[in-house]
């Protein structure tokens, strides 16, 4: 593992935990906004490690486009958690764990995909979500693993 990979993986782990924590926010949609903001900041920090100019609009598009690959299969994971939060009283308690798990797994997968992309010399402008779809889905399915090395 290169020094950059190690530093980037540490960054991904940090934001994975923050994203999971933001998923615990009991107010539906506020949790999504917090998680999205954290994940965009994660991409900015990873790009800085690799010396790649950060482009927020491309980062937002990447986050949204990659979600399309997992949301149909993971709807119960995150969306139901978000919906449960709207039920007065126990809804927030029931939905928060699912949303936290979804958010952490998404940050893990997103970060590892961008580590791989930047390691191979990619930039935000050369990022093609279609090319990383299977790798992203595999990282998401494997879930957050704080002890694992960065995916290459």
56-72, pLDDT tens digit by residue? Answer: 988 999 888 888 777 65
Reported pTM: 0.81
Q: What is the DSSP string of 115-137?
A: HHHHHTT--STT--GGGGHHHHH
Q: Is residue 56 part of a domain?
A: yes
Q: What residues make up the domain containing 138?
A: 3-142
Q: Is residue 9 part of a domain?
A: yes
Residue segments in the chain with a per-residue pLDDT below the cut of 70: 71-95, 145-152
CB 58 within 8 A of CB 125: yes
Gyration radius from the chain CA atoms: 15
Q: Is residue 147 part of a domain?
A: no
Q: Is residue 149 part of a domain?
A: no
Q: Is residue 148 part of a domain?
A: no
Q: Is residue 52 part of a domain?
A: yes
Q: Is residue 64 part of a domain?
A: yes
Q: Is residue 79 part of a domain?
A: yes
Domain tally for the chain? 1
| pLDDT value of position 150 | 47
């Amino acid at each position: 593992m290169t020094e950059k990979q190690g530093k980037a993986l540490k960054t991904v782990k940090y934001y994975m935990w923050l994203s999971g924590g933001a998923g615990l926010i009991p107010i539906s949609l506020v949790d999504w906004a917090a998680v999205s903001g954290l994940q965009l900041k994660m991409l900015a920090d990873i790009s800085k490690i690799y010396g790649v100019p950060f482009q927020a609009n491309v980062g937002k598009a990447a986050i949204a486009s990659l979600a399309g690959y997992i949301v149909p299969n993971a709807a119960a994971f995150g969306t139901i958690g978000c919906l449960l939060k709207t039920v007065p009283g126990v809804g927030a308690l029931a939905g928060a764990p699912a949303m936290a798990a979804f958010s952490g797994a998404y940050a893990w997968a997103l970060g590892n995909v961008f580590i791989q992309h930047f390691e191979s010399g990619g930039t935000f402008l050369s990022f093609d979500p279609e090319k990383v779809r299977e790798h992203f889905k595999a990282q998401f399915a494997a879930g957050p693993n704080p002890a694992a090395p960065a995916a290459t």
